[in-house]
Structure 1
Amino acid sequence: MQLCSERYTETRRGSSIKRLRVCLLLPAIVLSLVVSSVSHAGNQKEEAIADSVRLALAKVIADPRPPKPSFDKIEERIKYLHWLGEMSDRLTRRIPDRQTRLELLETIWYESKRAGLEPAMVMGLMQVESGFKKYATSIVGARGYMQVMPFWSRVIGDGDPKKLFHMQTNLRYGCSILRMYIDMEGGNLYLALGRYNGSRGRPEYPNAVLANWKNWEFKG
């Protein structure tokens, strides 16, 4: 196992992700064990955040707009539809109902892009956190697709943790919180993912998300 502290961002997909693969390299058999064992959220910490950040997150969470993407160019819409079809095919085994699958994928795309995240990375995180189970609940109480801790509903929401099982609400919380952690860590995705999982500085969780990220990459 090799641990690297090199900084990288999730937005520069080329050389920075190649560095991540080198720095966090694990033997294949060990990596497979890590991926299979990391299936629930860690004990994500409640920590002090600036009032300006808290208010900005609360504003994002409260936005009532439905997850319907819009496109300036027809080519962008065509690419999105190709992505939607391909991801739906890949997700069929996990979510057999087509309507549920498409609604989830629309929401993943919308909330990921809204937060400036790669949809494939968010789907990799969801696979690790919940296995795409809407009502997943971890032993420490994290809820839903992105395993959001209930305290977030009090810190930036309306105080009702039951809403974390709502599809769009859960993804909006999860994507917004991860975006905040990436910004807090100066773009260091390795540390941001660890903070999201409550295991900052340890390699297992970032490795697992990276391995599953590759399952959802779209080449179209």
Structure 2
Amino acid sequence: MAERTRQRTLITTLTSQERLSDRVAHALRAALISGELRPGEVHSAPGLAARFGVSATPVREAMLELAREGLVEPVRNKGFRITEVSERDLDQYAELRALIEVPTIGAVTASADRRRLEELRPVAEEIVTRAREHDLIGYLDADRRFHLSLLALSGNDRLVETVGDLRKHSRLYGLTALDERGLLVPSAEEHIELLDLMLAGDAAAAEACMARHLGHVRSLWARSRQETGPGRR
């Protein structure tokens, strides 16, 4: 009986710890998106723990999760550095995404079951809702799910994995600035436009919409970085 009680207590503790590290990771992502944590800065787990009012363990776990996402990188004996991405890097990532995603969208439009496409409408609408609610974390999550789910209809798992990695490396900076200028909602609405074209079976128009959307997003982010300055990418 004592052993069972000990096991239940351990499970409860671990579950609680996991939830705490998830909350810390969520808060860290928000700080990265807003520019509160800036590229190139090095932060220690104890320092961030004091900032969040928690122990260092959940912070360290959260930072390791962000490292797997490419948002930070470990620095020996110091902590974690917020990764930097140059304009050249972003251009190359955007070019790769266009080379992969645009023709794939055309192929999916021609071959996918319309019912499976329609199942993605709630996600496309969620992107717009999140943008209107200024929920930046929710916006990015819905955007990721929509794009990767569309690509998954191609049946190529490695393609989806590759684009997922490109998205992590080319994460969007200056989201707060775009939101404040009212540019996020029009970009979000392009997802519904894309889905409608795919449902209509117009592969050429869907490809053109996808190319325009990726180029639009890249230009918006470039403009945002110029306006916010190098310190708040």
Larger radius of gyration: 2
| TM-score normalized by the length of structure 2 | 0.27
Which has the higher relative contact order, 1 or 2, with Cα contacts under 8 A spaced 6 or more apart? 1
TM-score, with structure 1 as normaliser: 0.28
